[in-house]
């Protein structure tokens, strides 16, 4: 069994979409990034790669590679799950927190869970998504950007190939 932790931040920018967990959240500003800037999905991918000790998403999907310009992060998450399967591992559970002063995320939380679960090939009951403001404190509170954290639990004992590390 291995745990992984992921953290990511994206700044707000005019003229961009606000994609979180694959949901295009209505917002007067979106998130800046080389990809679709889905900060929630990025934190989750890093948590999975952390549990596998496979580096981080920047190594797998370099942010200067034109192949990832505007990339759909749910597609990248599917690719991370291919690494999980190749290592003979299984994702047992994950939980994520998004810190955003705005927009209000509660109405989209269930759709985010479903999107992430589908992309990972797990039941939605294994995927937690929570939202919090930072009570107007810090860069999140000043509405300069959004931060996300994720933890995952992987069963790495599903085959002989994943026991090490
Ligand atoms: N962007 C956000 C932030 C928070 N929520 C929901 O509001 C609740 C209260 O937030 P506090 O930061 O005041 O603790 C939180 O538990 C979320 O349910 C939200 O929907 N979107
Ligand atoms: C997935 C990638 C691909 O460019 O997305 P970005 O939008 O650049 O986001 P960031 O979290 O800064 O780095 C991860 C990158 O690998």
Q: Where are the alpha helices (DSSP H) in the chain?
A: 39-52, 57-60, 73-86, 109-120, 138-141
- C-alpha 95/C-alpha 116 separation (Å) is 11
In whole numbers, what is the pLDDT of the chain averaged over residues? 95
Asked if pLDDT for residue 23 goes beyond 50, the answer is yes
For 43, the token pair is: 């934190």
**Which residue has its alpha carbon closest to ligand 2 atom 14?**
58
Q: What is the torsional sign of CA 45, 90, 75, 58?
A: positive
Ligand 2 closest atom vs CA 37: 7
β partners of residue 85: none
For 108, the token pair is: 């989209």
Got the DSSP string for 38-74?
-HHHHHHHHHHHHHHT---HHHHS-TT-GGGTT--HH
Confidence of residue 161 (pLDDT cuts 50, 70, 90): low
| ipTM of the complex, rounded to two decimals | 0.90
Distance (angstroms) between ligand 1 centre and the Cα of 39 equals 17
Q: What is the third-level CATH fold of 2-162?
A: 60s Ribosomal Protein L30; Chain: A; (3.30.1330)
Asked if pLDDT for residue 28 goes beyond 50, the answer is yes
Ligand 1 touching residue 112 (CB < 6 A): no
Distance (angstroms) between ligand 1 centre and the Cα of 137 equals 14
Asked if pLDDT for residue 134 goes beyond 60, the answer is yes
Ligand 2 mutation target, pool 63, 74, 145, most atoms within 8 A of CB: 63
Confidence of residue 162 (pLDDT cuts 50, 70, 90): very low
Write out pLDDT tens, residues 54-109: 999 999 999 999 999 999 999 999 999 999 999 999 999 999 999 999 999 999 99
Contact between residue 150 and residue 44 where contact means Cβ atoms under 8 Å apart: yes
Contact between residue 94 and residue 126 where contact means Cβ atoms under 8 Å apart: yes
Asked if pLDDT for residue 153 goes beyond 80, the answer is yes
């Amino acid at each position: 069994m291995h745990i992984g932790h992921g953290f990511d931040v994206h700044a707000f920018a005019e003229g961009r979409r606000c994609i979180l967990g694959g949901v295009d959240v209505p917002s007067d500003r979106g998130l800046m990034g080389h990809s679709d800037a889905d900060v929630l999905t990025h934190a989750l991918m890093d948590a999975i790669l952390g549990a596998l000790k496979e580096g981080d998403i920047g190594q797998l999907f370099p942010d200067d590679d034109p192949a990832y310009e505007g990339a759909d992060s749910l597609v990248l998450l599917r690719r991370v799950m291919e690494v999980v399967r190749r290592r003979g591992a299984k994702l047992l559970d994950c939980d994520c927190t998004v810190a955003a002063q705005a927009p209000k995320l509660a109405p989209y939380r269930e759709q985010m869970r479903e999107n992430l679960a589908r992309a990972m090939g797990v039941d939605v009951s294994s995927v937690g998504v929570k939202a919090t403001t930072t009570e107007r404190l810090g860069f999140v509170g000043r509405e300069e950007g959004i931060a996300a954290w994720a933890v995952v639990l992987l069963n790495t004992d599903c085959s002989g190939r994943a026991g090490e590390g």
